[in-house]
Structure 1
Amino acid sequence: MERLQKFIADCGIASRRAAEKLIADGRISVNDDVITTQGIKINPVSDVVKYDGKIIKKCDEKIYIMLNKPKGYISTVKDEQNRKTIMALVTDIGQRIFPIGRLDNNTEGLLLMTNDGTLMQNVLHPKFKVEKTYIARVAGKLSNDELCALRQGIQLSEGMTAPAVVEKLSYDDEFNQAKISITIHEGRNRQVRRMFEAIGHDVLALKRVSFAGLTLHDLKRGKYRMLTQEELERLSVYLADN
């Protein structure tokens, strides 16, 4: 058991003295009961503590989140141009977390977030060649030669891209649009869009559906959830195998 004000301080919310004032002001709840009495003890493992309605956790607890990012949100913690960021979608974590990599403003789909700097570094390090799969809706019908070019690598301004796994999923003759699955392991800026643009096809919609072996499943757009223990173990095995 642990005193509530110490727990609040360990979460990085306030000093113990300031935490006592937060308690006195009725801004702290334990298991949804507002606490105003000083000196109460809690179980930091099983009790749910909230500050102004938001769950708080100790800073040394590792958080792993999967977000289904919608279009129209910047994949940063803050934006100097005051645009909407993904932090507006993850509002009750109680700890400072960061996105692992980025999806541009007009791209939706799977985005991992964490406060585990070691995991973030490993996932983003080129040596691990973490695979990312996207579904792209593109203008026009791709020829076999164009599909082959994507698979072999595309010349961009900074050099050739690595080979990609590319599959033609469907073609809409009425709207002259193709749906393509593409898996890459590099992390260049707007890479998938630029690869298609380089062969003369604009990307009309882009969604990341898989990252490091993890998939969205039925996670709804704009929603998030914690990674399961099984997913964390799979992620660990994935990195070890690469």
Structure 2
Amino acid sequence: MSERLQKVIAKSGITSRRKAEKLIEEGKVKVNGKVITELGVKVTDSDQIEVNNIPIEKEKPVYFLFYKPRGVISSVSDDKDRKTVVDFFEEFEQRIFPVGRLDYDTSGLIIMTNDGDFMNVLLHPRYKMDKEYIVKTKGIPANEALKTFKKGIRSEGDILKAKQVKIMSVDKKKQTAIVKVILHQGKNRQIRRMFDAINCPVMKLRRERLAFLTLDGLQPGEYRELKPQEISDLKKLAQKIVK
């Protein structure tokens, strides 16, 4: 069975398919000792592939649902030597990386994998999967202010939108509120920027759900493997959304 070269590179876990395509075009990929610069080349299991003169290893793909704690970086490394999400997976030989990011001070659900192709399915802008967050705000947001979230708020050149927003509870004495927000977008610090814009800064933020996946049964710092059916359903959901 043959597959496109960029897909095989992405599956190895060293980079995403999009970056693999760029590496091919830059002449940094060899197949059986021959430099490949054109996209569309297909390879089989018997072909020897090198990226930057280093043979790729075909790792077994792994997929985890991780409850990221606050105070952890969503990256494979950190120049300030802070704890990263990868530090929780040191027992595994595969090169595992996070799909997307959660802010340092944000907790919640994040997918960890070594499958770059699968990562693209979840991150591509056209795959509009629900991302549900629970927000604790300083100050009680007015309903009219929250309605602007669905219309879109301009911030630093971006139009930030929420699919759904709902006040879950308020504490009038402490002047705080718990708000549920569902996004399709994934802009940098999006929810914090949206609440800053209505003068109700975020005190705590947690991602509770991605599509049909939830944090049920997990505590901060814990993870579980995704079930084969969950992986399949995520891919099918993405394809359904595109259609």
Moved over 2 A (4+): none
- How far residue 151 of structure 1 moved from its aligned partner, in angstroms, is 2.0
Q: Determine whether 1:158 maps to 2:157.
A: yes
Residue 211 (structure 1) aligned with residue 173 (structure 2): no
Asked if the contact 1:75–1:86 (Cα under 8 Å) also holds between the matched residues in 2, the reply is yes
Contact kept? 1:141, 1:176, Cα under 8 Å: yes
In 1, the alpha carbon distance for the partners of 2:93 and 2:218 equals: 22
Unaligned runs of 5+ in 2: 1-11, 13-56
In structure 1, what residue type is equivalent to 2:231?
L
Equivalence for 1:127: 126
Query: Which residue number in structure 2 is paired with residue 83 of structure 1?
Result: 82
Secondary structure of the equivalent of 1:75? coil
Q: Deviations over 1:124-157 (max 9, x none)?
A: 1101122211000001111111111112211111
Q: Which residue of 2 aligns with 1:106?
A: 105
**Is this contact kept in 1: 2:89–2:96, CA < 8 A?**
no
Report what 1:17 is aligned to.
none
| Whole-angstrom distance in 1 between the partners of 2:167 and 2:114 | 37
Kept in 1, the 8 Å contact 2:121–2:235? The answer is no
* Residue type of the alignment partner of 2:229: E
C-alpha contact 1:90 1:224 (8 A) present in aligned 2: no
Give the TM-score taking structure 2 as reference length.
0.73
For residue 222 of structure 1, give the secondary structure of its aligned residue in structure 2: coil
Q: Does 1:136 align with 2:135?
A: yes
- 1:181 correspondence with 2:180: yes
SS at match of 2:126: helix
The secondary structure found in structure 2 opposite 1:126 is coil
* Counterpart residue number, 2:219: 220
User: Is 1:195 the equivalent of 2:194?
Assistant: yes
What is the aligned residue count?
Answer: 186
Pair 1:109–1:163, CA change in 2 (3 A) = closer
Q: Give how far 1:219 is off.
A: 1.1
- Contact kept, 8 Å, 2:98 with 2:110, in 1: the verdict is yes
SS state of the match for residue 99, structure 1?
Answer: strand
Amino acid in structure 2 at the alignment position of 1:66: L
Q: Report the CA distance between 1:209 and its aligned residue.
A: 0.5
**What SS does structure 2 have at the residue aligned with 1:128?**
coil
SS of the residue 2:191 aligns to: helix
Question: How does 1:50-89 map onto structure 2 within 5 Å?
Answer: 59-89=58-88
Higher mean alpha-carbon deviation, 104-113 vs 232-241, is at: 232-241
CA contact 2:66–2:221 (8 Å) conserved in 1:
yes
SS of 1:89's equivalent in the other structure is: helix
Q: Tell me how far 1:59 sits from its aligned partner.
A: 4.1
